Structure formats: C-alpha cells, structure tokens
Amino acid sequence: MKNIVFIAAIIFSVLITGCSRESHNDISEGDNEGELDALVYTLYSDKTELFVEFKPLIAGNLTKFAAHFTHLVESFKAYTEGTVTLRLKTGDKEISVITNSPSSPGIFRLELTPEMQGKGQLIFDIQTEFFLDQIIIDNVTVYPSEEAAFFDQTEEPDVDEITFLKEQAWKIDFANQLLIRQSFNEVVKTSGQITSAPGDESVIVAKSQGIVKIGKGNATAGARVNSGELLFTVKGSDVIGDNIDVRFEEVKLNYEKALADYERGKELVKDNIISLKEFLEREIELKNAEIIYNNISTNYSGDGENVYSPMSGYIKNILVSDGQYVAAGQQLGSVSKNRKLLLTAEISQQYFSRLGKFTSANFRTEYDNQVYRTADLNGTLVSFGRTVENNNYFIPVNFEIDNRGNLIPGSFVEVFLISSEIENALIIPVSSLIEEQGLFYVYVQTGGESFQKREVKTGPGDGINIEIVSGVNEGERVVTKGAYNIKLAAMSGSIPDHGHEH
C-alpha cells in the first residue's frame, strides 16, 4: 500500500509540475559558482500575494523580475489579467516600467536598470478591472558594483523545506491563513439527535375500532398534507362486536327517538298530559343524544370513521397498513409542520457545573457531513436536564432551531457545545490538519514556494475551527486548503525546476 501511495505521489508531482518548468528556467541557468544569489520576497496585501525573485540591484545593470501575483479569494488563484507597474525609488530619483498583461497566468515579467546606488523602495502597483492594489518592498539596496553585492551576501541557513511551485498551487484548491491571536470558545464534543420540536408535531389516533383504509394514494412518509385533509378511514362493518358502524346506527336511533319524544312532549305539556319536569327530562335526553350523534357523525361517512390531518405539514410516519385492524386510541401516524426542530445533546455528568455556560452549538450530520451552527438557524437554548435516569448517565441539553429544509428529524448528529471564551488563542480550520499515526501536522508557508511540515498539539475545536496549543507561532501562515497535495509533493522526493528572477 505504501508503494502505491509513493508511486501516486511521484505521478502527481510529474503531472502538475511539468507545465511549470518553462516559466521558471529562463532567469538563472543554475547555481553556478560565482553567481549572485537571488533575492526572494513574499509579501501580502488584503487582496494579493506577491512572490518575486530577482538578482541584487546594481547601478547601471539590467535586472529582470518575474513577479508572481496571487489573488487572495476563497481559493488562491493566479491573476490572469491586469496591469503591473514597477517603480524603483532611490533618493529623489524614480524610474518605472509597466506591463499590461501577464506573460503566463499569474506571472508578470518586468525589467529595469537602476541609475543610482543607495537604499530605495520597490513599489508594485496592480490595476485590474475590479480594483487597485499596491505592495511595497522597503530598504532595497542598489549596489555600486557586483563586487559590493557579493561582499554583502550572507549564507542562508540550511532548512529542511518542501518546494511547491505557484503553478502547482494555482491548479488546485489552495489557500493559507495568517495566524493571529483571537478569542475562541471552549467546546465540549458529544453526540446528539434531531427531533421535532414540541407543538410542531401531532399524533393521529383512531377513535374507534375497525379495519383501516389509507385515504390518500400518496400518504407516505414525507408527503405534504393540508389541515383537514383525509388521511385514513376506519370501517367497522367487517368487525363482529362493537364497531363504528353499529355504534353510529345505535347513536342515530337514540337521537331520532329522543327527538321524537321531545317533539311529542311539547304538545303533551301544553295540555298538561305530562308534567313540566318530565318534559325537561326529555329535552335533556335529546341534547345528550344530539351531542353524541354530532360527535360521531362529524367524522363518519357510509364507509366508516374518517380521520383527518390536524395540521398542515408533512407526514412524519404511517404506523399502520391498508386493511389492518386497529383499536380505539391506537396511533395511526403523525404529522409534523417540520418548521421547528429540537437538537438534543447528551453530555456526561462531569460537565454539570458548566451547563449554564453553554450558549450555542455546532453539529455535523452523517448524511451530508456538513457542519451547522445553531446561531445560523435562529437557535435558542431551551432547557437542560436537572436529573439523570437510573439507566442513563447523560444529561440532555436542548436547543430549538429552525429547519431550513435539509435537516432530517430523528437523525443522529455529532455535537460541539460552545461554552466559555478562551482569550488569545491561535485558531486554524480543521481542514488544515493532516493526521498521521495519531499525530497531527500542518504545513506552514515560509515563502512563496517554500513550506515546512510541523507537528502541532491541538486544543478544543468546534467542528469548523480548532485551537493550536503548540507547533506554530502567531504571524506565520498555515495552509488551510491543499495540504494533502503538498504532502504528495513531499513524498515524491523530486525538486521541481525553478529560478524566477528571469
């Protein structure tokens, strides 16, 4: 298996670097003895990364630049259009050169000849269709001669670094992030479940015994229904004994008899044939019979008892089959509005003292592996457990959230409970981490095309970001997208051709 991964890494490196050699090998033909070492700069603005190499500036000598410009959007991409102006300020003198388009995606080639020695500034002005930007390199030395430049060179320390060219990074989903200390929240990771919120769901029950018939052809879980829509019919004619059809006929006859007795009583009481007391008793019997008759006849048809949806929403489940016998009070199914959901997280008793500090939660579903925030779903903490059951050692923490249409009631989720705030934490996206044999690593970008692999110790995470306790420092840039591609490049063992100072 290791051999297969290694071969894949070599193939990846060859494929992705093959097209990059042309843009990198026309500046220096190699590190020949006696040549000046190139100066390397990697600088950032809010919109742009500039990576540029060039030989030391010497008054009267032509200097060639290959400036690599990367647009810092969600995934870093090469500038494919725009105008770049390079200005050299030395003392009160300024010279400039301009190029109106990249020679290849992301690479703008420029050359100028310094006129006077001394300290100066290199200013890169970038103009695109959508914005302007500027990056300045301060304290650049213009030497009077090559000998002076040689004398000023310092030997760079030998550092184990991984080379990953700009052309490689531009072809993949790549990004890095500047590490700054910021506030972060302590997180308790646990499991939980999404259920329908109280009041958002109604159970449908049979009011009489009989044979059930499903009223809708599409009455299946997930189907939309309206309030008052027929869902089931319970027919009792095929059941021996007490059933809805017999009960309806009995109630109807009682009502008709009570009505007849009452109508006859109205005439008899006028002639004092019956007493007023007896007439009032007949009136009461009629009202009782009418109430019972109306109660049954409201949901009764010739086919049996009709059962209607109590609300508009979605059928959550159907608990019976067509033709099944049901008893009075038996559940037939349930309907949910599916607007509000309850996220219930189960936490260990060791966190009981921190229950009041939980303010929100993030959770990850199994079916789409997406992380949701209760804050984005209008979520509120509604309750948490005060006791534990004999057979359950966990305490429930409940959040009510909006259902935006892509959450499934009844599903189990991974929950990250957000607790008290951590000050001055170094935070990186979880996507930055590479795990190897239980240890975690990140790739730190030390230069435009230079990376270091660092082992890190992690702190709490919220499913999206995670605290780094050690291994990286504030002000460094950590790769947040494309770390696995850099790992493949490192495994290939080959060093791509480069030399940018054209």
Whether the predicted pLDDT of 87 surpasses 90? yes
- Looking at residue 239, its pLDDT comes to 59
Residues 6 or more apart in contact with residue 53 via CB below 8 angstroms: 27, 38, 39, 40, 41, 65, 66, 499, 500, 501
Q: pLDDT tens for residues 355-376?
A: 878 889 999 988 887 889 998 9
- Looking at residue 458, its pLDDT comes to 92
49: Cα separation from own chain's centroid: 27
pTM of the predicted model, to two decimals? 0.64
Better pLDDT: 304 or 379: 379
Provide the pairing of β-strand 434-436 with 371-373: unpaired
What CATH code is assigned to 203-336? 1.10.287.470
What average pLDDT does this structure show over 182-202? 85
- 29-43, 265-279, 481-495: which has the minimum mean pLDDT? 29-43
Question: Among candidates 50, 30, 63, 24, which has minimal Cα distance to 149?
Answer: 63
> Euclidean distance between the first and final Cα of the chain, in Å?
42
- 62-71, 100-109, 118-127, 492-501: which has the minimum mean pLDDT? 492-501
SS3 377: helix
What average pLDDT does this structure show over 208-225? 75
- Report the percentage of the chain scoring pLDDT > 90: 42
Sign (positive/negative) of CA torsion 72, 74, 75, 77?
Answer: negative
Q: pLDDT tens for residues 411-466?
A: 899 999 988 788 899 999 998 999 999 999 999 999 999 999 999 999 888 888 99
Boundaries of CATH 1.10.287.470 in the chain?
Answer: 203-336
Q: pLDDT tens for residues 107-163?
A: 999 999 999 999 999 999 999 998 899 999 999 999 999 999 998 888 776 678 899
- Looking at residue 406, its pLDDT comes to 76
Q: CA 419 to CA 356: how far, in whole Å?
A: 9
Q: Six-digit token pair at 374?
A: 């209760």
Q: pLDDT tens for residues 266-275?
A: 878 787 888 8
Boundaries of CATH 2.60.40.1930 in the chain?
Answer: 36-161
Instruction: Give DSSP secondary structure letters for 317-368.
Output: EE-S-TT-EE-TT-EEEEEE--SEEEEEEEEEGGGGGGGGG--EEEEEETTT
CATH topology for 178-195+340-481 is Elongation Factor Tu (Ef-tu); domain 3 (2.40.30)
Architecture of domain 36-161: Sandwich (2.60)
DSSP classification of residue 238: T
Whether the predicted pLDDT of 85 surpasses 50? yes
How wide is the angle at C-alpha 251 spanned by C-alphas 250 and 253, nearest 5°? Answer: 65
- Looking at residue 440, its pLDDT comes to 95
- Looking at residue 243, its pLDDT comes to 62
Boundaries of CATH 2.40.30.170 in the chain?
Answer: 178-195+340-481
Q: Six-digit token pair at 105?
A: 């995606």
